Structure 1
Amino acid sequence: MTKTMNNGRSPAIRAAGLGKSYGDEVVLDGVDITVPEGAIYSLLGPNGAAETSIVQIPSTLIAADAGDIRVGGHDPATDPTPPVPIPAGSPAGFSAR
């Protein structure tokens, strides 16, 4: 699924068809997002718009129910090891999983 951006590099984050439900409540339904390497993105929306779920899925805090996601070219669901080492002095509780 990895596509290259105009600079010839893979995007930092790429999600296609992302889906997540909590019981009968569908919170993500076919979300596509591409974040180029070196870009700064922000997710804004009203409370309950699933911004937190969109951030938690690539960080492996929760699992997606549908779709495909790549972080640094890796699938975090099958390879949760971060593509770069976690820096010393990271905030308490910060982990690769």
Structure 2
Amino acid sequence: MTTTTSPSPAIAAEGLRKAYGGRTVLDGIDLAVPTGTVFSLLGPNGAGKTTAVKILSTLIRADGGQAQVAGHDVAASPDGVRAAIGVTGQFSAVDGLITGEENMHLMADL
């Protein structure tokens, strides 16, 4: 019998929490994104999407929980995470002037 091990998830988060002052903006989210997949994070304004992305991309620290991106712990190995990913926000785009593909190429070049 041949056994194969599945690759570690591209993103794994358990119990992520974040608060600003007395306002909780992330209240224990769990997330698992398999390697090689396309994933969308959708929700209403104020749901914590941007906060989750900022934590996963090491721009801010979580108040609780743990997360790994590309096999690197976001708190213990932020440089490893940053070396493995690229992030661009929708507001840095020039949406009305170029196509979506052209915008992605621009962000990749930057």
> How much does 1:43 deviate?
1.1
2:35 corresponds to which of 11, 34, 37: 37
Identity, in percent, stands at: 51
Decide whether the 8 Å contact of 2:14 with 2:65 is kept in 1: yes
Q: Which runs of no fewer than 5 residues in structure 1 stay unpaired?
A: 1-5, 92-97
Paired AA for residue 52 in structure 2: I
TM-score, structure 2 normalization: 0.68
After TM superposition, list the pairs within 5 Å mapping 1:1-97 onto structure 2. Answer: 8-82=6-80, 84=83, 90-91=109-110
Q: Select the structure that is richer in helix.
A: 2
> How much does 1:81 deviate?
1.7
- Give the paired residue count: 85
In the alignment, the residues of structure 1 paired with residue 18 and residue 54 of structure 2 have an alpha-carbon distance, to the nearest angstrom, of: 11
Which SS does the other structure have where 2:71 is aligned?
coil
Q: Deviations over 1:31-74 (max 9, x none)?
A: 00000001111111111111001111010111100001011111
In the alignment, the residues of structure 1 paired with residue 61 and residue 77 of structure 2 have an alpha-carbon distance, to the nearest angstrom, of: 13
Quick check: 73-82 or 11-20, which moved more? 73-82
Q: CA RMSD in A?
A: 2.2
TM-score, structure 1 normalization: 0.77
Q: Which runs of no fewer than 5 residues in structure 2 stay unpaired?
A: 87-107
- Select the structure of larger CA radius of gyration: 2
Report the CA distance shift for 1:62/1:85 in structure 2 as closer, same or farther (over 3 A): closer
> How much does 1:82 deviate?
3.3
Paired AA for residue 27 in structure 1: V
